[in-house]
Amino acid sequence: MTRDNLSGQISQTIRNPGFWLIIVLTVLISIPHYVTSLAHPALINRFLDGFSISRDTFERVLFLAPIIWAGFIFGWRGSFYISLFTVAIMLPQAVFFSAGAGDAIFEIAMVFSVGNILSIGFASLRREREYRKRLEAARRDLMVSEERYRKLFENALDGIWIHDLEGNFTSFNQASEKIIGYTTEEIKKMNAREFLSPESLDLAHDVREKLLNNEPVDQPYEQRVFKKDGSQAIIQLSTSLIMDKGKPVGFQNIARDITEQKRMNENLRDYVQHVTRAQEEERKRISHELHDDTIQALIALSRQLDAMATAKGIPEEVREKLEKLWSQADNIGRGVRRLSQDLRPAAIDRLGLLPAIRWLAEESERYSGIKTRLNVIGKEYKLPEESAIALFRITQEALRNVWKHSGATRAGIIVEYHSNKTRITICDNGKGFTLSGQVGDLAKLGKLGLAGMEERMQLIGGSLSLESVPGRGTTIAVEAPG
């Protein structure tokens, strides 16, 4: 114990009113012990005479009171110090004034011993009583906690069930009944294996082994289970290991039925796919009409104007006007041709994705002045039309963003062909930006072009990643199944 702690305890003891009451009691007992002229009440004298107890012995026994009281208030240490104090008070009287000094010292030793023993005993009883009170309070709190957990368990909107290591169910709430279709009484007689297909059972075993081996598990995960009516439900599941005294005893599962949500998402995805296909078909139709009709008509008009401007006998003033008209028609034709290519490059339909991206890089460099380099890794192969169009549109949108927003001087396109996927990376050395949140939050942040890229990749089962650092450019990487 440090000096500061000891000083603090002494200060706290002195401020305790009980300390001073013990001192006062000890002094009051000490006065008649030394002042023999002070007589005890007659009742006490008769009691002492009846049991042949001397006055000095009786008065020494009275010193047990402050010793035991100190034990109650301050514990055995307080009892010990007060007993030393009382011994210091009794000892002079026993040595110098008592008729039998040996007996008196023995009685003092007994008072010291009995007082401390009783104080220790009473302190132990008090601690036992306090421990029982705390134990009872903990038991009541545990009962309240269990009742609250039981209500939470039963009334939870998500399905919650517990099964042992062998898959036998031990607890099952009402929401779980709605998911599976079985009652609690029925489910407790069944095993988790009965609800799972072979593929789902393999997934359950994988999760089980990882949890038992303290390995990370991606949660929540999707699982398919058989319902009572034979249909399948898709649930979003979180599984945790239940431990008892350091040993695994079972698993707790929290499930949410996402069957309808998945069906709605699939319907929405199908709808968006149809809309996207319709858009591409309309782009293709308009592109062909512009190429076959409008551009050809503009070419014919341009030739006629050229022929008229070069004809003999045309006044110079009229010739200049015709040349201006020819120049305007030629510019309009180039603009319409560029618009037609943007809507649907002929290269992607005739030659495939890579030639279309090569054309896109050349056009981007020509119109933006940003040096654009294309690298190809792996052996080119033909992709499904939907995947090729999605990758081309994303590359087109990414280059357009580089041109309009990045302030870059260089851009790069890397096309990688792997056995089971195609990856395209578009990067620049522009000003970049701070990317906050996930890629899925791009629409909320107003970055609709990037959000559209992600949607296109989701429609073909691909993925998109985005990296951007202020002052260090932006990198967009997309992967599509091969």
Domain membership of residue 231 (yes or no) is yes
Domain membership of residue 165 (yes or no) is yes
The strand pairing partners of 22, in sequence order, are: none
Domain membership of residue 90 (yes or no) is yes
Residue 366 and residue 472 in one domain: yes
φ and ψ of 72, to 5 deg: -65, -45
Q: What is the pLDDT of residue 442?
A: 54
Where does a domain end: 344, 372, 405?
344
Please list the ranges in the chain whose pLDDT falls under 70.
Answer: 1-10, 13, 37, 48-49, 51, 268-269, 271-273, 276, 280, 287, 341, 344-347, 349, 435-449, 482
Distance CA 71, CA 116 (A): 8
Q: Are 427 and 421 in contact (CB under 8 A)?
A: no
Residue 116 and residue 23 in one domain: yes
Choose among 340, 333, 341, 335: nearest CA to 302: 333
Residue 85 and residue 191 in one domain: no
Q: What is the pLDDT of residue 420?
A: 86
The strand pairing partners of 466, in sequence order, are: 476
Domain membership of residue 426 (yes or no) is yes
Pair of tokens at residue 292? 């076959």
Q: What is the pLDDT of residue 15?
A: 76
Domain membership of residue 235 (yes or no) is yes
Where does a domain end: 199, 232, 257?
257
Q: What is the pLDDT of residue 269?
A: 67
Residue 368 and residue 268 in one domain: no
Q: Which residues contact 159 (CB under 8 A, 6 or more apart)?
A: 173, 175, 176, 178, 179, 180, 235, 253, 254, 255, 256, 257
Where does a domain end: 257, 286, 319?
257
Residue 365 and residue 473 in one domain: yes
**Cis, peptide link before residue 220, omega less than 30° from 0:** yes
Residue 66 and residue 116 in one domain: yes
209-212, Cβ contacts within 8 angstroms, sequence gap of 24 or more: 211/239, 211/240, 211/241, 211/251, 212/241, 212/248
Domain membership of residue 427 (yes or no) is yes
Domains held by the chain: number: 4
Distance CA 368, CA 353 (A): 22
Residue 340 and residue 399 in one domain: no
Residue 43 and residue 117 in one domain: yes
CATH of the domain at 161: 3.30.450.20
Residue 270 and residue 180 in one domain: no
Q: Where are the beta strands (DSSP E) in 348-446?
A: 371-377, 410-417, 421-428
Residue 378 and residue 478 in one domain: yes
Choose among 446, 353, 351: nearest CA to 405: 446
Global model pTM greater than 0.75: no
Residue 338 and residue 387 in one domain: no
Domain membership of residue 145 (yes or no) is no
Choose among 444, 458, 449: nearest CA to 270: 458
Distance CA 36, CA 338 (A): 128
Residue 391 and residue 267 in one domain: no
Per-residue pLDDT of 10-60, as tens digits, reads 677 677 777 788 888 888 888 877 777 677 777 777 776 676 777 777 778
Which residue segment(s) compose the domain that 181 sits in? 156-257
Distance CA 26, CA 21 (A): 9
Phi-psi region of 461 (alpha: psi -120 to 50; beta: other; left: phi over 0): left
Domain membership of residue 117 (yes or no) is yes
Pair of tokens at residue 47? 């009691």
Choose among 379, 428, 374, 377: nearest CA to 399: 428
Q: What is the pLDDT of residue 329?
A: 81
CATH of the domain at 416: 3.30.565.10
Which residue is associated with the tokens 């990856």? Answer: 423
* Residue 476, CA distances (Å) to 157, 453, 479 in order: 40, 10, 10
Choose among 340, 428, 352, 434: nearest CA to 392: 352
